[in-house]
Chains A and B, each alone.
Chain A
């Protein structure tokens, strides 16, 4: 049985900011929804199901906050469910929207969410609570320290340097300066990044993502609906997820299945997406990638997980400009998560940006001739990964 083809017919994202004191949470959700509906030229009543993208309740300070968003997404009496895979939530939500249509359940699905990461005060303290109380919560683990340790292992294994890391920030900020939706848009130099203060060695302030507030949404539709209504669309050709052990210490030591320096499960997730999309040689077939990388060092193992180069080889390619906006395979032409991180929707934005690219609608940060793009989302303690292939 062949699953119906699923297209993206509308995209909306806020201009992400450090704080949005002018809007409460449901209003921010509505903002993304309105933009997506306008883009699709549809109304709330046309949406047959809603997949709600919301990561930890704790970042918003409201339990099951999706309930407050029901009206913002026009879901009264409609099919509605919320997804949470940590930071990967946004892409898992889009994939779940795909699932609704591929299952033949409905023809038009709205995927939406928002976040106000800055409103919680200290996201690292909250994110410390994702670790289990049995063994690890007493340690000062947070997403920054966790990924700093990944950098340390990559330095040891592949010779990653702080300059390599800074290079990613420089590239992404330059890209973000061309993206009106991005949060951090100021161009920075290698010197500035290297001179910024250490947060958790070797991650410095300018190697780290911001706390962003804003909403984002997408409207997905079945091929039949798109044809019947003569709509313009881009297509989701591959989806997949994979996850690793929760225990970071298991990604170290002997007989390692997945090294904490790498993103093994992300690679496995891409394999699944590629299989569905019929991609056999990503280095040649993929035109761009929006990879979830909230810290500069993590962009490297994410790139390697896409299979466009071998493990440990991405730093040299980055130095050559291979991944620049004008390069061979632009990575994070939007500026990526490093420049904008509204956690509940960051991975949704990755998919949205790829869609805009292959649609030829990415404005100043457009990758020329982009027809096939890939997106990824990461969640938990580098544990959950979702990936998509989107084509025009």
Chain B
């Protein structure tokens, strides 16, 4: 007897409203190559990426605050495995605490030689200073910017990472 299988795939598209807060953030990234956070007055934390309210206090956030372009690495990982619809490995990404922010924002790390994991991990160690780089042509997405090690002097674009754009 044959054991059968059926191939199915989900093809559903969505139009997610970003709301005013996120829209402002992305417009600033796109038009001014500037990253903003929002102040949560109750805790005093500047939330990056910004949100209309703090999920800790459930109060609305208030002021827009410019953050970056410098920052420090709070977490990273280097991916060596291939996953469907994700970039070709190896690539490094993680979270950066931008200057002026109290929470970290995610992004790719570029310009680092990733061939030797232990060495790459040392270079990306927590606390390492990074600088935000922006793409020449920006769409208003988190892929419009990435982070490079401070003092690396523009090593981006190395063939160690091939970042696939998302829609």
**Interaction A to B:** yes
Partner of B80, one of A22, A156, A199: A199
Task: Pick from A88-96, A144-152, A209-217, A320-328 the stretch touching chain B.
Answer: A144-152
| Cα–Cα distance between A249 and B51 once the two chains are bound (Å) | 13
Q: Across the interface, which residues of A come within 8 angstroms of B141, CB to CB?
A: 138
- Contact flag A153-B97 (CB < 8 Å), given A58-B10, A125-B85, A134-B22: no
Partner of A153, one of B75, B80, B117, B142: B75
| Cα–Cα distance between A156 and B73 once the two chains are bound (Å) | 11
Taking a contact as CB atoms under 8 Å apart, the answer to whether A247 and B93 are in contact is no
- Contact flag A201-B83 (CB < 8 Å), given A21-B5, A61-B8, A153-B75: no
Q: Does A254 contact B (CB under 8 A)?
A: yes
Q: Does A104 contact B (CB under 8 A)?
A: no
Closest to B87 in A: A140
Taking a contact as CB atoms under 8 Å apart, the answer to whether A200 and B18 are in contact is no
B 127-164 binary contact with A (CB < 8 Å = 1; else 0): 10000000000000111000000000000000000000
| Cα–Cα distance between A137 and B141 once the two chains are bound (Å) | 10
Partner of B125, one of A140, A156, A197, A198: A156
A 176-198 binary contact with B (CB < 8 Å = 1; else 0): 00000000000000000000011
- Contact flag A198-B117 (CB < 8 Å), given A153-B75, A156-B125: yes
Within the complex, the shortest CB–CB distance from A129 to chain B, in Å, comes to: 10
Taking a contact as CB atoms under 8 Å apart, the answer to whether A252 and B5 are in contact is no
Taking a contact as CB atoms under 8 Å apart, the answer to whether B79 and A199 are in contact is yes
| Cα–Cα distance between A290 and B23 once the two chains are bound (Å) | 44
Closest to A247 in B: B103
A 255-281 binary contact with B (CB < 8 Å = 1; else 0): 101001000000000000000000000
Taking a contact as CB atoms under 8 Å apart, the answer to whether B126 and A152 are in contact is yes
B 41-85 binary contact with A (CB < 8 Å = 1; else 0): 001110111000001100000000000000000111111110111
Q: Across the interface, which residues of A come within 8 angstroms of B107, CB to CB?
A: 139
How many A-B contacts are there with CB distance less than 8 Å?
145
Taking a contact as CB atoms under 8 Å apart, the answer to whether A255 and B102 are in contact is yes
Taking a contact as CB atoms under 8 Å apart, the answer to whether A252 and B117 are in contact is no
Q: Does A12 contact B (CB under 8 A)?
A: no
Taking a contact as CB atoms under 8 Å apart, the answer to whether A135 and B79 are in contact is no
Taking a contact as CB atoms under 8 Å apart, the answer to whether A138 and B47 are in contact is no
Taking a contact as CB atoms under 8 Å apart, the answer to whether A145 and B93 are in contact is yes
Q: Across the interface, which residues of A come within 8 angstroms of B87, CB to CB?
A: 140
Q: Which of A8-67 contact B (CB under 8 A)?
A: 21-22, 58, 61
Q: Across the interface, which residues of A come within 8 angstroms of B142, CB to CB?
A: 135-136, 138-139
- Contact flag A200-B56 (CB < 8 Å), given A135-B142, A153-B126, A248-B95: no
- Contact flag A201-B117 (CB < 8 Å), given A140-B87, A249-B103: yes
Partner of A139, one of B10, B56, B106: B106
| Cα–Cα distance between A136 and B141 once the two chains are bound (Å) | 10
Taking a contact as CB atoms under 8 Å apart, the answer to whether B75 and A149 are in contact is yes
A 280-319 binary contact with B (CB < 8 Å = 1; else 0): 0000000000000000000000000000000000000000
Q: Across the interface, which residues of A come within 8 angstroms of B22, CB to CB?
A: 134-135
| Cα–Cα distance between A125 and B76 once the two chains are bound (Å) | 19
Taking a contact as CB atoms under 8 Å apart, the answer to whether B103 and A253 are in contact is yes
Within the complex, the shortest CB–CB distance from B51 to chain A, in Å, comes to: 8
Q: Across the interface, which residues of A come within 8 angstroms of B8, CB to CB?
A: 61
- Contact flag A121-B84 (CB < 8 Å), given A153-B75, A249-B48: yes
Q: 10 A–B contact pairs at CB < 8 A?
A: A134-B18, A135-B49, A135-B142, A140-B79, A150-B75, A156-B125, A198-B80, A202-B117, A247-B103, A249-B103
Chain A residues with CB under 8 Å of chain B are 21-22, 58, 61, 121-122, 124-125, 128, 133-142, 144-145, 148-150, 152-153, 156, 197-203, 245-250, 252-255, 257, 260
Query: Sorted from nearest, which 9 A-B pairs have the closest CB atoms?
Result: A249-B104, A148-B77, A252-B74, A149-B75, A201-B78, A156-B126, A252-B104, A254-B102, A138-B166
